[in-house]
Amino acid sequence: MKYNFDTTPDHRHNASYRWGMSDMPEDVIGMGTADLDFYCAPCIREALVPIAEDNCYNYRQHTDEYYDSVTSWYRKKYGLEIERAWLTNVPSTIGAVRMALGILAKPGDNVIVQTPVFHPIVSAVEGADLNLIENPMKIVDGHYEIDFEDFEEKIREFRPALYLMVNPHNPTCRVFTKDELTRLVDICYEYGVKIVSDEVHCLIVYGDNVHTPILAVSDKAKEISIQIVSLSKGYNIMSMPHAIITVADDEMRAAWNRQIQAFSFGYAVNSFAIAAVTSIMKGEADEWMEELTAYLENNVNEFISFIEENDIPLTAFRPEGSFLIWVDCRNAGIGEEHLDRFFMDKAHIHLDDGEENFGSEGRGFVRINLAVTNSVLKEALERIKAAFSK
């Protein structure tokens, strides 16, 4: 490997959310918050250092190079033609989701969402005074599937203003296929339901799985969707927040751009984020991403085989994308509530409790972040084994 994912900065002392919570024991292993432990691709440093050296942070524009890198990235990676005028950015994916909710729905409207679901999505819905309609994912032969019958039935019954899609899905780590997406789009189109698509986890995808951006699904999708992507999850640039929003439909775009103006986000251009995103989208970190994905896939494989080989009573759902893993603990004899406490007390591992962070459909599950070094993963697995043998 050209890049080293075996050593990391000292996250216990850099204000990391994941590793630095004040109430956690000294030897805790942070496997919660969805960021990566690794150093970023070198091109990011190269893009940022000259800006820091100039030490001048006046209002900046999006450069031509930025727009060209975004449009060519979509063309090369997904065969999706995007016009420059369709693009805007805001600092935060969830912020963009919340803005889109405010544009496409009015207080009291319904929003349909696949559950379990990442809690900030629920907060965005509630913060916009909308009602969440749940379309629970169902487990079929050890694999999460979309329940299309329930989806259509709930749309008929509740007439939601929009469908808030999370794809790749957090926390089940499903990467929806183009067929599934086509079916979802066709149903939404038929019933006049708009789509807001949060694709923040689209960059890390394993094996034969393929991410399809919502706007690449069909012309119908272009008419009804707002696409929200950020490079943060793939390239570990969460503290340079930058979400890229693409709106193809003229009417929705006019409404969206009005809000960009209202929030003054046309001026909220972070020169560091623009430089980092430009270098990544020009392809300078492609090789780094390939190696990162291989490293993470090895962690995933190791996690799953260790659980199986040691008869640990947990069932892990093999992730199709992202660096997370969703684990069923319902047969583990540790109850279904506050499972994070079990892992913290018995193994000094901090992870995300399914119910607390992903709602009632997450009860009895935990989500574990595998974007740690392989040696940290090994230590965590040994601690989990010891916790279950007690």
Ligand X SMILES: Cc1ncc(COP(=O)(O)O)c(C=O)c1O
Point out which residues bind ligand X (CB under 6 A).
34, 92-94, 118, 166, 170, 198, 200, 230, 232, 238, 241, 243
* The two structure tokens encoding residue 360: 């009632």
Nearest distance in Å: CB 201, ligand X: 6
β 110-115/131-136 pair status: parallel
Minimum CB distance to ligand X, residue 97 (Å): 7
Amino acid at 328: D
Task: Give the tokens for residue 240.
Answer: 């340079």
Which of 276, 312 has the CB closer to ligand X? 276
* Closest distance of CB 198 from ligand X, Å: 5
Q: 60 or 119, CB closer to ligand X?
A: 119
- Which residue, 323 or 388, is less far from ligand X as judged by CB? 323
For the CB of residue 93, give the shortest distance to ligand X in the complex, in Å. 3
Location of structure tokens 């019954």: 157
Distance CA 17, CA 40 (A): 17
| Distance in Å, CB of 19 to ligand X, minimum | 16
> Which residues are CB-contacts of 288 (< 8 A; sequence separation ≥ 6)?
3, 41, 42, 43
Sign of CA dihedral 313, 315, 321, 324: negative
**Exposed e or buried b for every residue in 65-76, given b needs 16+ CB within 10 A?**
ebbebbbebbee
The β-bridge partners of 348 are none
Query: Which CB sits closer to ligand X, 122 or 243?
Result: 243
* Nearer to ligand X among residue 94 and residue 289 (C-beta): 94
Number of CB atoms found within 10 A of residue 314's CB: 20
Which residue lies nearer to ligand X by CB, 93 or 278? Answer: 93
Closer to ligand X by Cβ: residue 21 or 85? 21
Q: Cα separation of 89 and 243, whole Å?
A: 5
Partners of 289 in beta bridges:
none
Across the chain, which distance is largest between two alpha carbons, in Å?
61
Q: How far is the CB of 101 from ligand X (least distance, A)?
A: 13
> Looking at beta carbons only, is 105 or 200 nearer to ligand X?
200
> Which of 20, 241 has the CB closer to ligand X?
241
Contact (Cβ atoms closer than 8 angstroms) between residue 31 and residue 327: no
Give the residue nearest to ligand X (CB).
Answer: 93
- At its nearest, how many Å lie between ligand X and the CB of residue 242? 8
SS3 of 181-232? HHHHHHHHHHHCCEEEEECCCCCCECCCCCCCCHHHCCHHHHHHEEEEEECH
| Beta carbon of residue 342, minimum distance to ligand X (angstroms, whole number) | 23
Min separation Cβ 241 and ligand X, Å: 5
Q: How many of the other CB atoms lie within 10 Å of CB of 389?
A: 9
Cβ 71 vs Cβ 79: under 8 Å:
no
- When computed from its CA atoms, the radius of gyration of the chain, rounded to whole angstroms, is 21
